[in-house]
Amino acid sequence: MRKFHRPADNRRPTAARKSDPRAVALRILTALEKGHRTLDQVADEALARVSFPEKRDRALVTTLVYGVLRWRNTLDYTIVHFSRTPLQRMDPAVLNILRLGLFQLRFLDRIPDFAAINSSVDLSKQAGLGRLSGFVNGLLRSSTRHPGEPDPPDMDKDPVQALCVTKSFPEWMIRRWIARFGIEETVQLCDFLNTVPPITVRVNGLRAAPEQVAASLAQEAAGVTPGRHAPEAVSFSSPKVPVHEMTAFGAGWFQVQDEAAQLIGLLTDPRPGQRVLDACAGLGGKTGHLARLMENQGRIVAADRDTAKLERLAGEMTRLGITNVRPMTLDMLVPEQLKDAGGFDRVLADCPCSGTGVIRRNPDTKWRLSEQDLARLQNDQIAMLTNLADHVRDGGLLVYAVCSMEPEENDAVVQSFLKRRPDFAIDTGVAADVPAVAGFTDDPGFFRTFPWRHGMDGFFGVRLKKNG
Ligand SMILES: C[S@@+](CC[C@H](N)C(=O)[O-])C[C@H]1O[C@@H](n2cnc3c(N)ncnc32)[C@H](O)[C@@H]1O
């Protein structure tokens, strides 16, 4: 029998002490609720400080954290059903311990019920909440004695509430998606966003061909298949080692990138020798693609306001053998910072957004984002495009992209920008220029991918041509 729990104590773990994966998961969930940091940031920081008794424990932390975030509403519905204390009055740590325990009971077949319950009781003691361990024990045991969810709201009478509970999404998202896509497609969208995504990579054509990369990946992973839409995409599952330890990764043969994001690089269509600004470059997913399309010739200024990200971007370009990228810390909301940037043939504005198109990768978005955030994000997106417009050369392209499916961040941003800048127009020649994106481009020239229809992340993109 595998032992899951550790003796109770309240000390903080150190690098020398082996950590309990459930305690690490609890720490990540609690930290996420406290601050404004993203799941990736919080998880990277927590995992860098710990070591585990068994290799698979690290994967268990990820399964627990992502699972609880994916299914939070569904889990809370059961907790409310069995508890006399309302959720709002529950100690946040106890609530997360209950969610972790219930997630294991409901969703993880490989963990026996007694192990899930006992480890949750231990966790409450470790967290200094021993006085509530009886409550944790009782609630989790009750849920196993009455298995299955308590009856959810009636789908015919109240589809919004029913889907909030059964698909675990906030009310405002379900409401707006039903209004836009109808009930059937909203169900499909929610189901898609609740799946664990496969690993999709973009082959770095500067160093290797897709067949070569696929052959290498097949030695270290299962289900290696070519992409369906992007010509240099390859997907796989169940890697035997972490992706960054794979042979092809070390050789700089690929970057991890969903197919929809790859199509944005193609939409930007930079040419060898051009001057290109990647205005919100982040860790360089799209920068690497632009450099590959430019055959590593010309110049890419990779800008972001976050210097730490740009440091990682620089390392990533070295791994990929890319030499035409210059990282620059710039804030796109401060036009003075751009004054010396000059003109560019292509400007890619892959703007910060709500991220509703990538919720399967970032399930914390469900609980972090509010509907009011959309207006703030829209304001920033319009301001960034307006600030960047002066830096596009005549005949050049400003490409706006977001991993959001929300109209406020899609069509509305473009319309507002075009009112301010009549010297730009939507480039309607996209389909002819870039065949790979033709199937995703509608009449005015808007590129859109819908997760449940196309089997990839949800993205919006448009090419705006200056004095075209
Ligand atoms: C959607 S992410 C970019 C992802 C990246 N292009 C990629 O493909 O990997 C948006 C980026 O915008 C950056 N950002 C946010 N506000 C900014 C601002 N005012 N100026 C410049 N960059 C900003 C964030 O740090 C983040 O890296």
- Do 251 and 236 meet the contact criterion of CB atoms below 8 Å apart? no
Angle at 411 between CA 285 and CA 468, to 5 degrees: 80
Contacts of 116 (CB under 8 A, 6+ apart): 101, 104, 105, 108, 140
Atom of ligand 1 nearest to the CA of 380: 19
Residue set of the binding site for S-adenosyl-L-methionine: 304, 331, 350
Q: How remote is the CA of residue 175 from the centroid of ligand 1, in Å?
A: 29
Which residue in 278, 229, 250, 236 sits closest to 399, CA to CA?
278
Q: Is 268 helix (H, G, I), strand (E, B) or coil?
A: helix
- Do 387 and 338 meet the contact criterion of CB atoms below 8 Å apart? yes
Instruction: In whole angstroms, give the CA distance from residue 261 to residue 457.
Output: 8
What is the amino acid identity at position 437? V
pLDDT band at residue 4, thresholds of 50, 70 and 90? very low
Atom of ligand 1 nearest to the CA of 283: 9
The pLDDT value recorded for residue 468 is 65
As its CATH architecture, domain 259-466 has 3-Layer(aba) Sandwich (3.40)
Q: Domain extents for the chain? A: 21-144, 161-194, 199-256, 259-466
CA-proximal residue: ligand 1, atom 22 (nearest): 304
Pocket test for ligand 1, best of 37, 277, 283, 305 (most atoms within 8 A of CB): 305
Is the complex ipTM higher than 0.90? yes
CA 440 to each of CA 398, 450, 459: distance values in angstroms, whole numbers, following the listed order = 19, 9, 10
The larger pLDDT score, comparing residue 289 to residue 147, is at 289
DSSP 153: P
Atom of ligand 1 nearest to the CA of 348: 6
Type and span of the H or E element at 304: strand 299-304
The pLDDT value recorded for residue 281 is 98
Atom of ligand 1 nearest to the CA of 355: 1
What is the amino acid identity at position 331? D
Type and span of the H or E element at 276: strand 275-278
For residues 303, 306, 307 and 312, what is the CA-based torsion angle, rounded to 10 degrees?
Answer: -80
The residue written with tokens 């703007």 in the block is 351
Whether 403 is a known active-site residue: answer yes
Task: Please list every protein residue whose CB sits less than 6 Å from any atom of ligand 1.
Answer: 261, 280-283, 285-286, 304-306, 309, 331-333, 350, 352
pLDDT band at residue 38, thresholds of 50, 70 and 90? confident
Number of other CB atoms surrounding residue 271 within 10 Å:
13
Question: Residue 467, Cα to own-chain centre: how many angstroms?
Answer: 35
Superfamily grouping for domain 21-144: NusB-like (1.10.940.10)
Q: How remote is the CA of residue 306 from the centroid of ligand 1, in Å?
A: 8
- Residues 206-230: tens digit of each pLDDT: 999 999 999 999 999 999 999 999 9
- Residues 236-260: tens digit of each pLDDT: 999 998 899 999 999 999 999 999 9
pLDDT at 2 over 50: no
Pocket test for ligand 1, best of 267, 268, 280 (most atoms within 8 A of CB): 280
Which residue in 413, 339, 423 sits closest to 380, CA to CA?
413
Q: How remote is the CA of residue 352 from the centroid of ligand 1, in Å?
A: 5
The pLDDT value recorded for residue 148 is 66
Helices 259-268 and 285-293, interaxial angle, to 10°? Answer: 50
Whats the size of the chain, residue-wise? 468
- Do 447 and 440 meet the contact criterion of CB atoms below 8 Å apart? yes
Instruction: In whole angstroms, give the CA distance from residue 51 to residue 47.
Output: 8
**CATH, range 199-256:** 3.30.70.1170
